[in-house]
């Protein structure tokens, strides 16, 4: 017997309810958890994650890395 679940209509994750981007300034605990996971499990996308975060914060990547990493 298999169960059928319609996730989009029956279930809303906490990510769907976020109103502001997750950055070290808005939610440091969550951002650093994500960064730790990405750095370990998907290092090939870590640079893009950092670049996207810096862009959300309207900072240069160099400044972002100096201040937050």
Residue 7, CA atoms < 13 Å, CB-side half-sphere: 2
Q: What is the pTM of this model?
A: 0.71
Task: Report the pLDDT value the prediction gives residue 13, as an integer from 0 to 100.
Answer: 58
Q: Considering the chain, what percentage of its residues have pLDDT values greater than 70?
A: 74
Per-residue pLDDT reduced to its tens digit, 21-37? 899 999 999 999 999 99
Tokens of 66: 């100096």
């Amino acid at each position: 017997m298999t169960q059928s679940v319609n996730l989009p209509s029956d279930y809303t994750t906490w990510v769907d309810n976020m109103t502001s981007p997750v950055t070290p300034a808005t939610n440091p605990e969550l951002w650093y958890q994500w960064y730790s996971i990405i750095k370990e499990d998907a290092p090939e996308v870590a640079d893009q994650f950092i670049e996207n975060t810096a862009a959300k914060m309207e900072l240069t990547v160099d400044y972002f890395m100096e201040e937050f990493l």
